[in-house]
Amino acid sequence: GGASLYAEADKGGYHHWLLIRDLGGNIPLDIKVNQFQPPPRRDSLTLSGLGGSFILDDQQIKELDTLYKQEGPGSFQNQYGNINGQGTYSGIPIGKLLEKVGGMTEHNKLVVHSVDGYQQEFEYTNVYPEKAGWQKQQGDMILAVSFNGQGLPEWKDGYRIAFLTADGLYDNKDCENTSVLGEGWHRYKSAGARWVRFVVKLEVK
């Protein structure tokens, strides 16, 4: 068996694994401890796509936010029907970020990676909702870099995927109607699951 200990990124972001082998009798246990490399910094963003990959640091992200800023009220519904995350989100359109690595076509998928290993897949029509008539229900897909005027490190959930819908709420019905088979709603029935927290990588595949 094994037990793991994970430290958050702002505390070093390390893992320890304790492997215990039961040899029976009174023989001492053989204990092995492995220390893993810290996960990526939360104040940087890796972009990977058709045109290569590179890392944006905090200053570059701030510059892109100034250049392409989209801002608006947002919130989401969880699997129990509760509304969470109410507030004002400000950030960069995902499509603008993907342009830095060659963009995205209808044949690609976007994989959003969180610092803790969580992932969500999105289609071309999620990144460009106007192509599918999803602008009202889903709204623009942004990488939110601030929430209610607070950025990292004060904002503990950033960077985050946010959907700026017309009514300020991305509910479970919106999620169902803007998820293709095999993704989103069809894997986990919660709009909130699409609002990935602690984003560290955007990957076009």
Determine the pLDDT at residue 42: 74
How many domains, in total, are found in the chain? 2
Position with higher pLDDT, 16 vs 187 = 187
* Shared domain check, 108 and 177: yes
60 and 30 assigned to the same domain: no
Question: Which domain does 63 fall in, by range?
Answer: 45-204
Q: Tell me, what CATH number does 105's domain have?
A: 3.90.420.10
pLDDT confidence of residue 43: 81
What order do you get walking across the sheet with 45-49 strand by strand? 52-56, 45-49, 199-204, 109-114, 119-123
pLDDT above 70 for 35: no
Asked whether the predicted pLDDT for residue 46 surpasses 70, the reply is: yes
Residue 40 lies in a domain: no
28 and 107 assigned to the same domain:
no
Summarised one tens digit per residue, pLDDT across range 145-191 is: 999 999 999 999 999 999 999 999 999 999 999 999 999 999 999 99
In sequence order, what are the residues at sequence separation of 6 or more whose Cβ sits closer than 8 angstroms to the Cβ of residue 127?
94, 95, 98, 104, 110, 141
Confidence label for 36 from pLDDT (cuts 50, 70 and 90): very low
Query: Above 90 in pLDDT, residue 19?
Result: no
Average pLDDT, the chain: 87
Reported pTM? 0.81
